[in-house]
Structure 1
């Protein structure tokens, strides 16, 4: 829908979409006040007050991952009371852009519960318009202070992209889109498993760089209201650790 069409043709459409994601009552009030409207107890979960800054959100994720990898999971925010509270609206404290891999569910990896994380998943953390719009929605409409791009060890999507690049072949159907998007992360100075593993980290860094350059996110980053972090999950240790943003693709060609 174009901007003009949205303004003139169907002013209720945008409100309807938001209502479906955040709760009609909370969103309608939020549009009037221009600030998030939360249910009475939405800012407090089993882990205490919800994080409201990038640093506190990152600490909450790190603490949850520590519980996960040491087998001290708490599975917070799953009670009947929490479920009833969330009917009125949501206030997640982090957006997680992760892979579709079934071994890396963000709520488990970070030991979080209902209403805690806004999760967006695509194979290889590949960005497209829908993924990007979903992330921006979380930041702009829900005022989420942290975006984490979460890659992981042994990523099949990256391995397939590397293989296609090496052989000159094409992946079946729409999967070629994934290979095309991941290709800039491939370091041709490496070989074998090292090339795949390095591409996994580089791909996350490139996605992080691209997100941080989005004007609407950049403005919040510069205002210190938002952090966009590149991270990687190791299947062998279950540990999530931050990684540096990747250099320009030309440096690895």
Structure 2
């Protein structure tokens, strides 16, 4: 595969559930060796898009390829693609080390690889803790550790910052940047705009259909405009008309309308 080839290519990708278009004619290429943020509101179709890319859902129309092939046809796909998504499940009663070693067996990796990824993700201190006793943040680290076991070329992470405390978020940001600098492609699905602004190289914004695909710098004018503002301009132009309170308004007791972020 040439370095100029896209790591992921979506062409007219569409998914209709019970007459509702969850994903509508999505066409975009994702470049290799970069951190790309797949951004959208809850329900915008991000997870459905990733599920189609990974062969977990069948497109109504269009195609999705990864490293030049549909996932099901990609040689050694489980080693080349690392995935962290809700619903992947765990092993009942397993410890952190135990679950990782089970995945090592499934992937045909030496058991010692579990210890390496635990150290890398900061889970070595909790190796013998039952997974069911782990905090949400620890589970997120465990999900990333599992995705990294086979040292994949591409990482696909669905909302990896959920449940992380500020230290964990800072660690995740540095980790993803380091992985990309090492030549890996990282795709991060999220609705946490402020955090992604400090993490990604490229941005794909969707609200069922594609609203933007390109570099973060181009989208924000090299940081002159906040990602959050550009996001709302693209997915909901009416939401960008937010009045700014002045002194007279405030002293008159008039409440200035605020943008509703609850859908982001």
User: Shared topology, TM-score over 0.5?
Assistant: no
Q: With structure 1 as the length reference, what TM-score do the two structures score?
A: 0.29
Q: Which has more helix, going by share of residues?
A: 1
Q: Which has the higher strand share?
A: 2
Higher RCO, 1 or 2 (CA under 8 Å, sep at least 6)?
A: 2
Larger Rg, first or second structure (1 or 2): 2
